[in-house]
């Protein structure tokens, strides 16, 4: 089958890889050039973890782990670094994650805040601490490049600078020409609704510009990836964090202003940076608060934070991953390939259709 995948970020590249492994003839079209910073897949670090309250996500992360390791072998690239991860904060949020890991047979231990601080002196912990040792971080830029390279090795044709103008029944029209398609996969991040909404009823996708920052560590200590959930001692927004080549990265989850991805200014918000500095001052004694180096990135999310991975006719949509989707990419690529092959996913979480507000992350 001839399949055109629209979008060369982590989800599009992973979908192309999975489809090519199943013998499809795949063309991957991307409106920007390789390594661009206009979407949601660039940078040096993304959290990898299994600690979700929903069993389906735990299993999906476990499958993704296997595939990331397969990709590393296939491409000779180091992508996934195991550092462990912690979730801490309000018990009603942390405990379901503990239980889900146990149901899946995955390692996890509960620590009190003082014991956690002794292990990781660069951090201060809140109320209930879940340590998940099989977690860590992915190198974002290398991951996208590796997925693309693995797909191309299997015969995928990649066309950069190819903004999609129209999807017709049997072809995709772009700036550089038209490509025949028996099936089209739209995995275009913040641009997905514009491309797919004429063909399928889409849940609302909201695109925001988020404001993480890197801080220089001042302790020679290990840094787990972490999620600090609000509601106990943390009375502000939840915070995620992880070590990276650029320092210790922290950010709020989905608090930025709504933007148009084509006209956003990439300018850090001073008030957002100040909130991150205040958090670091209170909870991260192992970083230099004044070293904050802000950056911007895009989130494109659904109302309930669950992804869209569903098919209508000869169109499959994969969207709404920002904030917690990067880690799942190769497993999502398999889900996309399943849909193209006519299989069902076995979950209602990712269906096209209305969403109500809640959090999967």
- Cβ-contact 109, 98 below 8 angstroms: no
pLDDT in tens, the chain (361 residues): 999 999 999 999 999 999 999 999 999 999 999 999 999 999 999 999 999 999 999 999 999 999 999 999 999 999 999 999 999 999 999 999 999 999 999 999 999 999 999 999 999 999 999 999 999 999 999 999 999 999 999 999 999 999 999 999 889 999 999 999 999 999 999 999 999 999 999 999 999 999 999 999 999 889 999 999 999 999 998 999 999 999 999 999 889 999 999 999 999 999 999 999 999 999 999 999 999 999 999 999 999 999 999 999 999 999 999 889 999 999 999 999 999 999 999 899 999 988 877 655 6
Q: Are residues 143 and 292 in the same domain?
A: no
Q: Are residues 230 and 116 in the same domain?
A: yes
Q: Which of 148, 167, 179 is nearest to 329 (CA)?
A: 148
Which distant-in-sequence residues (6+ apart) come within 8 Å of 265 by Cβ? none
End-to-end CA distance of the chain: 35
What is the pTM assigned to this prediction? 0.96
* Domain range for 12: 1-81+137-203+304-361
Q: Are residues 9 and 77 in the same domain?
A: yes
Enter the DSSP assignment of 253: S
Our count of domains for the chain comes to 2
Q: Are residues 212 and 193 in the same domain?
A: no
CATH number for the domain that contains residue 69? 3.50.50.60
Q: Are residues 224 and 243 in the same domain?
A: yes
CATH number for the domain that contains residue 277? 3.30.9.10
């Amino acid at each position: 089958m001839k399949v055109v995948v629209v979008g060369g970020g982590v989800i599009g590249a992973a979908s192309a890889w999975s489809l090519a492994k199943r013998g499809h003839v795949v063309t991957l079209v991307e409106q920007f050039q390789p390594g661009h910073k206009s979407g949601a897949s660039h940078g040096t670090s993304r959290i990898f973890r299994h600690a979700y309250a929903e069993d389906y996500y735990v299993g999906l992360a476990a499958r993704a782990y296997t595939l990331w390791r397969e990709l590393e072998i296939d491409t000779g690239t180091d992508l996934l670094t195991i550092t462990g991860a912690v979730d801490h904060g309000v018990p009603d949020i942390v405990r379901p994650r503990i239980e889900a890991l146990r149901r899946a047979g995955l390692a996890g231990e509960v620590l009190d805040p003082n014991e956690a601080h002794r292990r990781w002196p660069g951090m201060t912990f809140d109320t209930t601490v879940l340590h998940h040792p099989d977690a860590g971080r992915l190198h974002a830029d290398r991951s996208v490049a590796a997925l693309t390279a693995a797909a191309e090795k299997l015969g995928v044709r990649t066309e950069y600078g190819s903004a999609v103008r129209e999807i017709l029944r049997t072809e995709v029209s772009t700036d550089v020409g038209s490509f025949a398609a028996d099936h089209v996969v739209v995995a275009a991040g913040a641009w997905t609704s514009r491309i797919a909404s004429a063909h399928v009823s889409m849940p609302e996708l909201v695109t925001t510009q988020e404001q993480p920052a890197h801080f220089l560590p001042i302790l020679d200590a290990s840094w787990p990836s972490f999620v600090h959930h609000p509601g106990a001692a943390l009375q502000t927004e939840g915070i995620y964090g992880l070590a990276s080549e650029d320092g210790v990265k922290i950010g709020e989850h989905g608090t930025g202003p709504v933007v148009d991805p084509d006209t956003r200014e990439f300018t850090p918000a001073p008030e957002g940076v100040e909130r991150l500095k205040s958090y670091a001052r209170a909870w991260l004694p192992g970083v230099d608060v004044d070293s904050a180096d802000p950056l911007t990135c895009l989130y494109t999310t659904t109302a309930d934070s669950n992804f869209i991975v569903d098919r209508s006719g000869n169109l499959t949509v994969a969207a709404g991953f920002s904030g917690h989707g990067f880690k799942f990419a190769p497993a999502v690529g398999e889900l996309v390939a399943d849909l193209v092959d006519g299989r069902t996913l076995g979950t209602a979480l990712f269906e096209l259709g209305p969403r109500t507000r809640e959090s999967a992350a």
